[in-house]
């Protein structure tokens, strides 16, 4: 039986270069005019059957691997180029002895091919990989890298999170329109649009973005980002902005929950719900959460005082005299919750429209909706995270190329925590 496609023994080109290159196969600052580029992995040719990392083909990729390694270190060597053009990285290792290093351009290395390699690298530096929804399908495409304007920063995306707003936006997309989905991320500032910006290149951040976060680079306003909490990984931090700000806006800005109040959170194990449970506990509330039995342990770990299994009992038959209800499920759940709220209490809706105004008035309660996130409240969330009082549970991780599967899983619901897209390392 023929052997299947082999995977490269490293995560990406940058990892290979930093971990595997040796001093003897020395990469020298070149005469070919190459400069350092931040994402050498974009140089890897990807098409058809070779989109999957498991389908790495050394015969097709050695040329790009060799030059990407040189470029990732801002340098070029004869052995790397000759290895790419002739054999493989083993050729490079075979030259790892003093006195056997060849020159940048030798009779085996044609200037035409070298020019082609350099030109392809320069082109890759101005583009990025992104998930593009167009014509009813998702594709990984090479698109122009966005440029930050004054008041903005460009972020190299390490991880992006999947939210219901993403697939809802796709569902409402006009025929023929194209979209890079995604609202939030964690990454490292790559460029700033204003030299006087308080943010500088190299800073790890979380952000609410404009233009989509399912990509290698994204743009954010300087008012919609915050320093990444050091206690959280990039994957965890990416899951914080949309759900964290939504929960904070609902419970603190709108409901202004106080210590000792009884707070009911519908969908307590979801993205918004899991953040809301923790925020309510920080405020000193008695927290009740609805969830399936499978998520009981998670909710206990987040601080929920009481958990109602909605598969087993109707919440309206077991609960009453609640000060605050946060509905993250659907419109029907909100309408069924009105009679649980004590007079003078409040019901805040995140999912769907809130209950009818007449229904709320008759029950002598306030009803409100949270509205859209802006990123302006992220600082409060990072403070909680740094204090160890807010964490982001992750249900599943997907590579960028599997964004469609991640969105479908989110659309189905019933997750425990966040779904994360891992974009770069």
Structural domain of 73: 13-125
Residues 153, 189, single domain; the answer is: yes
Positions in the chain whose pLDDT score sits under 50 = 1-63, 71-112, 114
In a domain, 181, yes or no: yes
Please report the DSSP string for 264-301 in residue order. EEETTTSHHHHHHHHHHHHTT-EEEEEE-GGGHHHHHH
Residues 361 and 260 in one domain: yes
Q: Return d(Cα 39, Cα 58) in angstroms, integer.
A: 20
158 and 53 within one domain: no
pLDDT at 129: 96
* pLDDT for the residue 117: 56
Are 197 and 247 part of one and the same domain? no
Residue 62 has phi, psi (to 5 degrees) of -60, -40
- The answer to whether position 378 is within a domain reads no
Residue 192 lies in a domain: yes
Considering the domain boundaries, does residue 135 fall inside one?
Answer: yes
Residues 102, 84 share a domain: yes
Q: What is the CATH number of the domain that holds 334?
A: 3.40.50.720
177 and 158 co-located in one domain: yes
Is 6 contained in some domain?
no
Last residue of one domain, picked from the residues 96, 125, 154: 125
Last residue of a domain, one of 125, 160, 181: 125
Count how many domains the chain has: 3
Cα–Cα distance measured from residue 235 to residue 418, given in angstroms and rounded to the nearest whole number: 10
What pLDDT, on a 0 to 100 scale, did the predictor assign at position 69? 53
Q: CB-based contacts of 93: which residues, under 8 Å, 6+ apart?
A: 22, 25
CA neighbor of 292 nearest in space, from 268, 309, 270: 309
Whether residue 285 sits in one domain with residue 231: no
Q: Does residue 297 form part of some domain?
A: yes
pLDDT for the residue 283? 98
Statement to judge: residues 316 and 412 lie in one domain: no
CATH number at residue 192: 3.90.180.10
330 and 412 together in one domain: no
Residue 376 lies in a domain: no
Domain contains 229: yes
Do 160 and 203 lie in one domain? The reply is yes
Is residue 221 domain-shared with residue 210, that is, in the same domain? yes
**What confidence score (pLDDT) does residue 85 get?**
41
Which one of 125, 153, 173 terminates a domain? 125
Q: What is the pLDDT of residue 67?
A: 52
Same domain for 248 and 224: no
Among residues 157, 147, 146, 148, the alpha carbon closest in space to that of 194 is found at 148
């Amino acid at each position: 039986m023929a052997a299947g496609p082999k995977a490269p023994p490293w995560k990406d080109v940058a990892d290979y270069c930093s971990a595997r290159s040796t001093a003897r196969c020395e990469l020298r600052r070149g005469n070919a005019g190459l400069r350092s580029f931040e994402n050498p992995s974009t140089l890897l040719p990807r098409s058809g059957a070779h989109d999957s990392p498991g389908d790495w083909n050394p015969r097709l990729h050695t040329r790009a691997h060799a030059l990407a390694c040189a470029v990732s270190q801002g340098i070029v060597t004869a052995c790397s180029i000759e290895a790419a053009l002739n054999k493989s990285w083993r050729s490079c290792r075979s030259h790892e002895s003093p006195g056997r290093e060849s020159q940048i351009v030798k009779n085996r290395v044609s200037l035409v091919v070298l020019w082609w390699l350099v030109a392809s690298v320069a082109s890759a530096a101005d583009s990025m990989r992104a998930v593009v929804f167009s014509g009813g399908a998702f594709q990984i495409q090479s698109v122009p890298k966005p440029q930050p304007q004054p008041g903005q920063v460009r972020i190299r995306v390490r991880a992006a999170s999947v939210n219901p707003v993403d697939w809802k936006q796709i569902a409402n997309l006009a025929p023929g329109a194209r979209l890079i989905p995604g609202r939030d991320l964690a990454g490292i500032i790559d460029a700033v649009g204003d030299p006087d910006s308080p943010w500088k290149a190299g800073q790890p951040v979380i952000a609410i973005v404009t233009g989509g976060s399912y990509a290698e680079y994204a743009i954010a306003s300087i008012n919609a980002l915050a320093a990444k909490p050091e206690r959280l990984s990039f994957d965890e931090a990416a899951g914080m902005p949309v759900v964290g700000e939504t929960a904070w806006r609902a419970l603190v800005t709108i409901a202004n929950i106080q210590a000792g109040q009884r707070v009911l959170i519908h969908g307590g194990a979801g993205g918004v719900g899991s953040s809301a449970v923790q925020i309510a506990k920080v405020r000193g509330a008695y927290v009740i959460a609805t969830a399936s039995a499978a998520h009981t342990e998670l909710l206990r770990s987040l601080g929920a005082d009481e958990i109602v299994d909605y598969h087993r009992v109707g919440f309206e038959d077991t609960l009453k005299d609640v000060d605050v209800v946060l509905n993250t499920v659907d419109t029907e759940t909100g309408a069924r919750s009105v009679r649980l709220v004590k007079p003078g209490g409040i019901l805040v809706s995140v999912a769907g429209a809130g209950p009818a105004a007449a229904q709320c008035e008759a029950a002598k309660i306030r009803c409100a909706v949270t509205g859209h996130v802006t990123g302006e409240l992220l600082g409060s969330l990072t403070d909680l995270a740094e204090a160890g009082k807010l964490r982001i549970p992750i249900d599943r991780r997907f590579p960028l190329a599997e964004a469609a599967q991640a969105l479908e899983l989110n659309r189905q619901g019933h997750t425990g925590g966040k779904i994360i897209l891992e974009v770069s390392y």
